[in-house]
Amino acid sequence: MGVPDSGHSRMPIDTRLSRSLTEHKIYITNVDYGWVQIEASLAVIEELFGPVAPLTKAIHTRAVQMAREHELSVYDALIVAAAQDAGCALLFSEDLQHGQKFGTLTVENPFRN
């Protein structure tokens, strides 16, 4: 989940979800519950966070380059590239290194003590 730069790094005014995050949610939900639960989950996600940002060819291209340069998984690189595309300054992730910077985008682990 990314937070567009609003000058308030701890109190996001706006949040964005990328298609790769919702696709991951679909996969996990489908393994455990099935399509009815997937549709309900996606409806809740969009109600809470607004429309899901699409993954474009430009985001994919940048993600592949980023995965190579920073030794990221393609999945993590897609999340970073989508957050950059959305103009986010802060990216919440427990999978990436806390404090890591990708240009003006900073990773924050929300579960770090």
Q: Does domain 2-108 have CATH number 1.20.120?
A: no
- Nearest alpha-carbon partner for 4 in 101, 104, 109: 104
Q: Are 24 and 41 in contact (CB under 8 A)?
A: no
Q: Which H or E run includes 2?
A: strand 2-4
Q: What is the pLDDT of residue 27?
A: 60
pTM for this model (two decimals): 0.67
Instruction: Give me the tens of pLDDT residue by residue for the chain, a chain 113 residues long.
Output: 454 444 434 434 455 555 556 666 666 666 667 778 777 877 887 888 777 778 899 999 999 999 999 999 998 999 899 999 988 899 988 889 999 999 999 999 988 87
Q: What is the pLDDT of residue 15?
A: 55
What are 62's two structure tokens? Answer: 């940048």
Q: What is the pLDDT of residue 3?
A: 46
Q: Are 107 and 76 in contact (CB under 8 A)?
A: no
Burial (Cβ within 10 Å: 0-12, 13-18, ≥19) of residue 51: exposed
Q: What is the pLDDT of residue 54?
A: 80
Domain assignments of the chain as residue spans, ordered by start: 2-108
